[in-house]
Amino acid sequence: MSTATPNTDRIVKTFLELVQIDSPSKQEAAVADYIEQRLALLGVKMWRDNAGEKIGGNCGNLHVRVPASGSSSPALLFSAHLDSVMPCLGIKPRVEDGVIRSDGTTVLGADDKAGVTAVIETLRCVKESGMPHGPIEVIFDVSEETGLLGANKVDLTTVTAKCAFVLDGEELDRIVFRSPSANRMNYEIDGVAAHAGMYPERGVSTIEVFAEAVSKMKLGRLDPDSTANIGTVNAGRATNIVADKLTATAEARSHSQDVLEAQTRHMSQCFEEAVRRFTKSVDDKTVAPVFRAQVRREFNAMNIALDSLAYRLALEAGRAVGLDMQPMSIGGGTNANVYNEKGLPAVVIGCGMKDEHTTSEHLYIRDLEMSVKLCLMILRKNHEFSL
């Protein structure tokens, strides 16, 4: 049984067109329009859900359905996200010696337009070749980069797939089966304002409180499976005012729930101890900074079995196209975390992006083509498993 052959020129053209469509998180409507126009030629069913309304964006998740053809194999789902991290406006891609890069002032947007391109080309090849396949379901998610927001709003009662493949990885020969849970924290500190030149001793600086807390905090790589980071800090109004307001964001990640919760408590305790240290008496009155923390679970850990259908299909498909597939545990979160938590077994497979989230991001054309071959072979192996 033959398998469809990807069209390299068409893949490159599609990718270059996609990355030149601005699609920061919550602003993905234009790129969804592009996909709908291209896939309409294939006669597939498409619709957008109401995720955009729920998260304050201009577009919902784009769903695509392709009915089975000549196969009784179970439905499979492919997923790629539509948004890119900033700076992603006005991307100017260039192709040099088989590599696609930006002009260096923006990201390239291969995360995750490479995944989107691979899915589009896979569906084109399926249609053109007439290869047998089970039902194909696709979800192009919105706002992945800002906390997996789109995937969290997916109604899986509309999905019949037995497993999912999230195209959001780097290495083509790796199957991401394990990733951590993450907590995201918002911190606020209220201090006491005072004239910094005349009466600084009457004030309580939130910046000093923050610096004291962070100096005592365990951050960065905590252990092989755990990390923590202070992400943003905003404070102060002017150089001659003791800073009385500060906000900050942070995160902690771990494959261990106990370690994650302990680290989250530790970070808050460091602030609470700093508040006590900076409490003082001014004019016979106790003056104390105030600390507040909000913690939310951003995503939960995934650890999919290596004998699951998703893993076995990726493994066998990779071997069939010449890839030495290996299991991979990562420290990041993807939409696969969300799908697994909702009961849809999912693994992450590669689409060739390199140095994502930086202006050095790039993509090898051969890797993008191989990603399409991998997806097509997953469909073929799924059919063969059912024979």
Catalytic residue list: 83, 144
- Say how many C-beta atoms besides its own lie within 10 A of residue 22's C-beta: 15
Cis omega (within 30 of 0) on the bond before 24? no
Q: Which of 206, 207, 137 is nearest to 165 (CA)?
A: 137
262 class by beta-carbon count within 10 Å (0-12 exposed, 13-18 middle, 19+ buried):
middle
Q: Distance (Å, rounded) from C-alpha 73 to C-alpha 377?
A: 14
Q: Which of 66, 5, 65, 70 is nearest to 384 (CA)?
A: 70
Residue 340 Cα to chain centre, angstroms:
14
Q: Distance (Å, rounded) from C-alpha 55 to C-alpha 50?
A: 9
DSSP SS3 for 85: coil
